[in-house]
């Protein structure tokens, strides 16, 4: 056998390397090793061309590539999964710049001069996992810039000029479903929706960095961070001194976690995982772990019983997402429940305190009963008022048509107002003169003009026919006693 010398071994390795094959060559001023191409600090103003198809890692950092056009990679690079372009003074990136690198998983555009993230800027990178954009001049972020990034896990946007970030991308859970780290530190954020951030899963809140922003002080923000400190979330625990906010009229920033009990806000301490319910309700206790890739979960009830599946005839159910559902709550269901989580690195225990109220005293059903009683009382009051107005005897002027006709005025005018004995117009069997008594009144001479009755006149007297007749009819011109039961006859 002929021993192989060092030169022959190097020649053999070069023939096996892709750079020694006929299909590729290492660009000038670059260092090539296997499928790695490093052109860092080569004083390049453009991307070297042509680039071999088998390039997997391309390092162009610390150069002068100020513009990344669509033709920087004229041919498809199916194996490229890491592109490093930091420290280039890069100010422009075409929306078609990543058309020929669809397998890119790591993109570093940090420490450049980018000012905006235009719409659909990274939409061709469906497999991108890490995106570094920190230390730029970004002030505007279009909500569609991260469209189609379904596998993005880490997004670094610190040290920019962002005044508003579209946090709805996180809330919806469909735009960036795999995102586990979002760095928004050292920007110009003045307000963040604490309620929406609290609704995010704990594994995302554990890596949501908001320090070194001129945030406005408020109690919801304090309680959000205070819960994070109790849970030992790294985004809060590691940057407690840098989490500051501004009070109205104050010249300096203060620590957000120092707002408890201080004026003018006087914020109260946050209560960790306290859930209130009422008898008979159905509640779900969430196991909000900060670990992704949890291997197993189990719950322990206040009585010390371990819940692995259905229990209590279906009243306690362990859901597929690790939550515990309690149905038809009873007073004995109240207490502190603990969720034991086996994470990929460490284990975690979460505690949820459940308060069960009697609805007849504290619950919303009592409020409903009170409202119902008040409504019934109002209706009855209205009905009684209507009955009083429309069903009582009518004594008003509008009801005169139903009253009885008044007595004849010729009899009442000339009689005593308090006398109970009427004038003797004629007794039974006593003659009234030459005419009957009924015709005598009709033919009296007490009528006035147009045949109308004269109320002030006196009816004519019948002819006297003896002493008995004189006693039967009273003289209208005589004076009668108003309090006499029997008129005085002269």
Gap between the Cα atoms of 288 and 324, Å rounded? 11
Nearest to 109 by CA among 126, 92, 124, 96: 92
Question: Residues 6 or more apart from 235 whose CB is under 8 A from it?
Answer: 205, 206, 207, 208, 209, 210, 211, 228
pLDDT tens track for 313-365? 568 888 877 888 888 888 888 888 878 777 777 677 777 878 888 864 444 44
Question: Residues 6 or more apart from 380 whose CB is under 8 A from it?
Answer: none
Answer with the residue of higher pLDDT: 436 or 295.
295
Rounded (5°) CA angle 147-150-152: 95
Question: Average pLDDT of 477-486?
Answer: 43
Per-residue pLDDT, 369 = 59
Residue 231 pLDDT exceeds 60 = yes
Question: Average pLDDT of 38-51?
Answer: 91
Paired with 350 in beta bridges are 339
Q: Both tokens of residue 110?
A: 């940090």
Per-residue pLDDT, 314 = 67
pLDDT tens track for 55-105? 999 999 999 999 999 989 888 899 999 999 999 999 999 999 999 999 999
Please state, as a whole number, how many other Cβ atoms lie within 10 Å of the Cβ of residue 447. Answer: 13
Q: Both tokens of residue 277?
A: 């319910």
Most confident of 99-113, 232-246, 363-377, 469-483: 99-113
**What's 267's DSSP letter?**
B
Per-residue pLDDT, 414 = 44
Quick one: CA dihedral 286, 176, 135, 213, positive or negative?
A: negative
Dihedral, 110, 113, 119, 121 alpha carbons, nearest 10:
-50
- Answer whether 75's CB lies under 8 Å from 47's CB: no
Gap between the Cα atoms of 285 and 443, Å rounded? 104
**How sure is the predictor about 419, in pLDDT bands with cuts at 50, 70 and 90?**
very low
Paired with 208 in beta bridges are 182
pLDDT tens track for 132-142? 999 999 999 99
Question: Average pLDDT of 111-122?
Answer: 94
Per-residue pLDDT, 1 = 40
* Strand residue runs (E) in 217-374: 244-246, 254-255, 274-278, 283-285, 296-300, 306-307, 316-318, 324-326, 335-342, 347-357
Do strands 296-300 and 335-342 pair parallel, antiparallel, or not at all (unpaired)?
antiparallel
Per cent of the chain over pLDDT 70 is 68
Gap between the Cα atoms of 289 and 399, Å rounded? 81
- Answer whether 416's CB lies under 8 Å from 484's CB: yes
Please name each of the domains of the chain with its CATH number: 275-357 (2.60.40.10)
Per-residue pLDDT, 137 = 96
């Amino acid at each position: 056998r002929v021993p192989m010398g060092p030169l022959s071994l190097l020649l053999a390795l070069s023939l096996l390397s892709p750079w020694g094959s006929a299909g590729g060559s290492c660009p000038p001023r670059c260092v090539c090793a296997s499928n790695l191409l490093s052109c860092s600090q080569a004083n390049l103003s453009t991307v070297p061309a042509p680039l071999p198809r088998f390039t997997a890692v391309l390092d162009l950092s610390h150069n002068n590539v100020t513009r990344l056009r669509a033709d920087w990679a004229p041919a498809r690079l199916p194996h490229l999964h890491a592109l490093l372009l930091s420290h280039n003074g890069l100010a422009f990136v075409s929306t078609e710049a990543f058309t020929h690198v669809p397998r890119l998983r790591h993109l570093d555009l940090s420490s450049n001069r980018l000012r905006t993230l235009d719409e659909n800027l990274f939409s061709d990178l469906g497999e991108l996992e890490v995106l570094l954009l920190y230390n730029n001049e970004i002030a505007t972020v279009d909500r569609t810039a991260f469209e189609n990034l379904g596998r993005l896990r880490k997004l670094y946007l610190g040290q920019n000029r962002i005044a508003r970030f579209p946090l709805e991308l996180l809330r919806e859970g469909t735009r960036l479903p795999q995102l586990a780290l979002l760095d928004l530190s050292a920007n110009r954020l003045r307000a963040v929706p604490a309620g929406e951030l609290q609704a995010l899963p704990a594994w995302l809140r554990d890596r949501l960095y908001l320090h070194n922003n001129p945030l406005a002080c408020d109690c919801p923000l304090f309680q959000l961070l205070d819960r994070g400190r109790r849970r030992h979330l790294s985004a809060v625990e590691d940057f407690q001194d840098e989490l500051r906010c501004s009070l109205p009229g104050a010249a300096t920033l203060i620590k957000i976690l120092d707002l408890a009990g201080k004026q003018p806000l006087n914020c109260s301490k946050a209560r960790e995982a306290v859930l209130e319910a009422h008898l008979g309700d159905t509640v779900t206790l969430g196991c909000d772990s900060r670990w992704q890739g949890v291997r197993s979960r189990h719950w322990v009830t206040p009585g010390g019983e371990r819940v692995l599946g259905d229990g209590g005839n279906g009243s306690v159910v362990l859901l597929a997402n690790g939550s515990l559902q309690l149905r038809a709550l009873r007073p004995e269901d109240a207490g502190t429940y603990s969720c034991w989580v086996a994470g990929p690195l460490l284990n975690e225990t979460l505690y949820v305190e459940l308060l069960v109220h009697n609805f007849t005293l504290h619950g919303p059903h009592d409020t409903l009963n009170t409202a119902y009683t008040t409504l019934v009382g109002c209706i009855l009051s209205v009905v009684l008022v209507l009955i009083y107005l429309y069903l009582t005897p009518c004594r008003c002027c509008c009801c005169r048509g139903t009253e009885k006709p008044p007595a004849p005025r010729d009899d009442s005018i000339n009689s005593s107002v308090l006398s109970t004995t009427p004038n003797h117009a004629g007794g039974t069997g006593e003659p009234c003169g030459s005419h009957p008594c009924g015709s005598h009144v009709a033919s009296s001479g007490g009528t006035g003009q147009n045949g109308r009755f004269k109320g002030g006149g006196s009816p004519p007297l019948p002819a006297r026919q003896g002493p008995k007749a004189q006693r039967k009819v009273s003289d209208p011109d005589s004076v009668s006693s108003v309090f006499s039961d029997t008129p005085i006859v002269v």
